[in-house]
Structure 1
């Protein structure tokens, strides 16, 4: 991991192996010998995001979380109103499901572009631009008068919304240290997690008491507030961008063009097209050639797909099998929201506690694999909750038991999900946004595709056997993945460092 003042905090373009080499060649002593080399000072630099006061760290974390709330809520807010929208815009069941899930398809492809762009131009410009892009297309959704316009604008809105997935890993990696990873992730995801479940609750009441178009108009009004807040609060966190600005300011104020950063020196001979290609292709190369990303992506993808199966069918379960109104059926999403809420907070604290314990056992040495053991209990709880929810619904047991199962499913999903996010961030500290984008690609694809077959699966197998099958697959992948990463993770990361990303 990068320490204060080392070159590792300043580089974006070279491969991890190149970064280590540069760090041995340009340390604090050499920085003193070369007055034109701009790097973070040791042992403290006020502009180094990892040295920021905690209130400033929490400010950028919280504003990213708050902007994520609206973007993620829009992904599910349509769910209770699908029948109403389908009737008004003359859509088939498949087309209405597509209008809901195509938003998630966009979040698969958006981070592949947005993540690398934040490693070229910085986190701030990308956040602000994506906020405005999302606002424009979300407004268009509210005024859509044909199914084609609605589906297309949902896709484009989702593309802008996907920035939150690409930026989160990068920003958290920029400002927080590995031993603080659990708490920082748990606080960051707290508000967006609530959005996944709050969306259908709000959507259910709007569908029953107002036009479905207010789902988009109201979230657009909220987005304007989020844009203003992000402009006022968010500060650039990407070290290469901060150092580039420092060097540029010195060049301008002194008239001396000799000031430079390590990143500028290493990429001095790269043309803009080459630089764009190197960065934009990085998530794809991570996903195709790096087993660490492949392992985590498959496990995360399964969990995310299961979540969206539950989200897309939960309301229908209560309206068809329990005879409840659309408004009341939406309230059952509170069980999922509470599960995610408690899971994120408990999981974050447990992850930091376990990390500190393993660090002590290793006599102060740290490795990203220290995050992994918490995956095991999380995936077991999640699978058990899914099975309980399925069989309770199958035998028409009291709805409270179904909600308990949904709570346990969401609780366990968060316990196991946070260590995977932390592992990706700490395995690729210089490329956290690209690595997050690569893993998000699979997650979003499963979130898009799984709900498309959920109805037919439950019709053929029932809730009991359907959820038992899904829970079993999830448990096998989770347990096997936990063991595999713990056993081979360090060797796979070492090989990845040799292969490079440049």
Structure 2
């Protein structure tokens, strides 16, 4: 039976000293775990309703933590793209080659490949709150350094370190949303969470374009650092711990202190009782790589999202050049076209989220006595890939023949819309399939996503020079369709894959 805070130690039948073995007091949840198997002292959430259970929180508190993550994600993703229109200016001032300038832009994304491998698992040991606050401060420090960089070496190094701190949003967001929202609410919560960060990817180049034209590029980093400082203050006030094992460990510690009875314990504490802190951290920190190496579900979803993310950054890295070189527009005006990218992504997330929840409820009504398998998320992704491919074809060939700019923007808007419609169900699928370790699972996927976002822009300019926009984007459309067929494997065999690999988590 679940033990709540209101219960006291009315059960005084003490175990003998030999029946109790204390855990290593260095465990991160600062509780003294007991190995007793007496279920009367097992501390859990009340299955009917529990005020401390994040899934039973009032909607206002759920949206509070979701909005904090969303606003934080907006700033960190905006910083990843804000340099794009000013690369030539920065290269001239810091005596950088074109390759070094692109490196300064892309290395931020390389850091977001490695950061989640550390940050995601740590949030499953120490809780989400501490990790979020620490990463916020880390990102702020190194983003400020970017603004004061006087050499290309300092700029590139500080961009990498800032990206490492910024990457926590990729590791934490999925975990926190999985902690707080129930499966039938997954679509809406993902859609609302993504609304602001998706704007960041497009707003970054717009702001960067105006700053590069009207003031120093350094204000790109100073202004985002001011915003980040404000977000740190807000997050300390508005963000609450969401990780269930951490919350339950605190409840058990309170019960032990208030009652003087050391027999209260949680399932997580019991599992960790015989292990050292080093052993716990080693298992946690290697979990994303083990998932990526041994779990076909993670491998397939990671490849799909990596290709989609890499294509997105091909667009973000080359979009301004299209308008300045192909259409002869100014740097300022070229940045405004990123609004088309933002509109497509926002429309996709806001339509895709409710659509996903409606589809889930419909499937649940057809199978009222069963818990739906995670694979029920997958069919909704297929239309998105087809829409995206059509959008890239329109975008590529209209820009090739210099059709009116509005038609080109419509093409890229359709492509981004399709990418979001396809991506949302796959993100929800990963969160449902690996609910207990959602942060580690998404960190494993993010590793390949960030690598592709780092690498794809490096050859994007050469691709368009050789193939031009028509055939270049035809290839992109074909790649989108090929990866769009891969979820069929998960739809058919995903449940079997998860069952066979369960022991390697």
Normalised to the residue count of structure 2, the TM-score between the two structures is 0.92
- Paired residue for 1:446? 452
- Specify the alignment match of 1:66 in structure 2: 71
SS at match of 1:281: helix
The aligned counterpart of 2:210 is 205
Q: Deviations over 1:198-222 (max 9, x none)?
A: 0000000000001000000000000
Report the equivalent of 1:15.
Answer: none
Alpha-carbon distance in 1 for matches of 2:398, 2:272: 59
Q: Does residue 425 of structure 2 align to residue 394 of structure 1? A: no
Larger radius of gyration between Structure 1 and Structure 2: 2
Question: Are the aligned partners of 2:294 and 2:504 in contact in 1 as well (CA < 8 Å)?
Answer: no
Gaps of 5+ in 2: 4-35
Structure 1 CA distance for aligned equivalents of residues 279 and 309 of structure 2? 34
Evaluate the alpha carbon distance shift between residue 5 and residue 72 of structure 1 in structure 2; reply closer, same or farther with a 3 A threshold.
farther
Offset at residue 251 of structure 1 (A): 2.0
Counterpart of 2:376 in 1: which secondary structure?
helix
2:316 aligned with 1:311, yes or no?
Answer: yes
Where do residues 166-245 of structure 1 align in structure 2 (5 Å cutoff)?
Answer: 166-245=171-250
Any gaps of 5 or more consecutive residues in structure 1? 7-29
How far apart are the structure 2 equivalents of 1:91 and 1:387?
A: 34
Partners of 1:332 and 1:486 in 2: how far apart?
Answer: 37
**CA spacing shift, 1:167–1:5, aligned 2, 3 Å:** farther
The match for 1:337 among 337, 342, 349 is 342
Show CA shifts across 1:441-460 (max 9, x none): 01000000000000111111
CA deviations on 1:132-163 (whole Å, 9 max, x unpaired) are 00000000000000000000000000000000
Equivalent position SS for 2:486 = helix
What is the alpha-carbon root mean square deviation over aligned residues? 1.5
The answer to whether structure 1 residue 491 and structure 2 residue 484 are counterparts is no
Contact kept? 1:5, 1:44, Cα under 8 Å = no
Q: Does 1:158 align with 2:163?
A: yes
Q: Work out the CA distance in 1 between the residues paired with 2:159 and 2:302.
A: 25
1:364 deviates by: 4.2
Q: Is the 8 A contact 2:185 2:357 kept in 1?
A: yes
Give, in whole Å, the separation in 1 of the partners of 2:64 and 2:383: 32
TM-score (normalizing by structure 1) = 0.92
4+ residue segments displaced more than 6 Å:
none
Q: How many residues align?
A: 473
Q: CA deviation at 1:36?
A: 2.1
Cα-to-partner distance string for 1:371-407 (whole Å, 9 max, x where unaligned): 1111111001111111110111111111111100110
- Aligned-pair CA distance for 1:258: 1.9
Q: Tell me, yes or no, if structure 1 residue 500 matches structure 2 residue 504.
A: yes
How big is each residue's C-alpha offset from its partner over 1:423-467, in whole Å with a ceiling of 9 and x where there is no partner? Answer: 000000000000010000010000000000001111111111011
> Matches of 2:145 and 2:359 in 1, distance apart?
47
Task: Map residues 453-492 of structure 1 onto 2, 5 A cutoff.
Answer: 453-478=459-484, 480-492=485-497
Aligned with 2:127 (options 102, 122, 126): 122
What is the CA distance between 1:5 and its match in structure 2?
6.7
